[in-house]
Amino acid sequence: MLIPSELRYSSDHEWARASGEVVRVGITDYAQDALGDVVFVELPKVGLVVGAHGALGEVESTKSVSEIYSPVSGTVSAVNDTLATTPESVNTDPYGEGWICEITTADSSEYDALLDATGYEALTNN
């Protein structure tokens, strides 16, 4: 299982990468593996105001449907529209082409409070 050290992680199995006030969000390698083959991603709408742990959308796989939760509070400022035609990117490249959305946040303390790679690895090994 791939857990990049430069990212932060939620206990809901989302990853986050901050660049200033913008936080890019996706689901982890662990989550995509548990889901199986992703066939559809319901993306949030740009402009959606969301709280930390608030629902952003859903990922549908051949096995199940799973909610996507926001790791931070803020406003959805971009979505990965390519997932409409290539939802399998969530499986093949969860930390790259398979990103879900970007959230502009004013509170960096929420990002700082997310799990680091070591903490997330401990969570997934339980």
Closest to 91 (Cα-Cα) out of 17, 4, 29: 29
pLDDT tier at 1 (50, 70, 90 boundaries)? confident
Task: Please tell me the total count of domains within the chain.
Answer: 1
Task: Please tell me the predicted confidence (pLDDT) of residue 106.
Answer: 83
Q: Would the pLDDT of 23 be above 70?
A: yes
CB burial readout 11-29, b (16+ within 10 A) else e: eebbbbbbeeeebbbbbbb
Asked whether residue 75 is domain-assigned, the answer is: yes
Mean pLDDT score of the chain: 96
Find, among 52, 103, 98, the residue nearest to 78 by Cα: 103
Identify the band that residue 107 occupies on the pLDDT scale cut at 50, 70 and 90: confident
Average pLDDT over residues 25-50: 96
Please name the residues in contact with 13: beta carbons below 8 A apart, sequence gap of 6 or more.
27, 28, 30, 31, 34
pLDDT at site 101: 98
Q: Per residue in 53-72, pLDDT tens?
A: 999 999 999 989 999 999 99
In a domain, 2, yes or no: no
What's the CATH number where 114 sits?
2.40.50.100
- For position 16, what pLDDT does the model report? 98
CB 75 within 8 A of CB 49: yes
Q: Is residue 3 part of a domain?
A: no
What pLDDT is stored for residue 126 in this prediction? 67
Domain assignment present for residue 34? The answer is yes
What domain range is 95 assigned to? 8-124
Cα–Cα distance for residue pair 68/9, rounded to 1 Å: 13
The predicted model gives 95-122 an average pLDDT of 96
Q: What is the pTM of this model?
A: 0.94
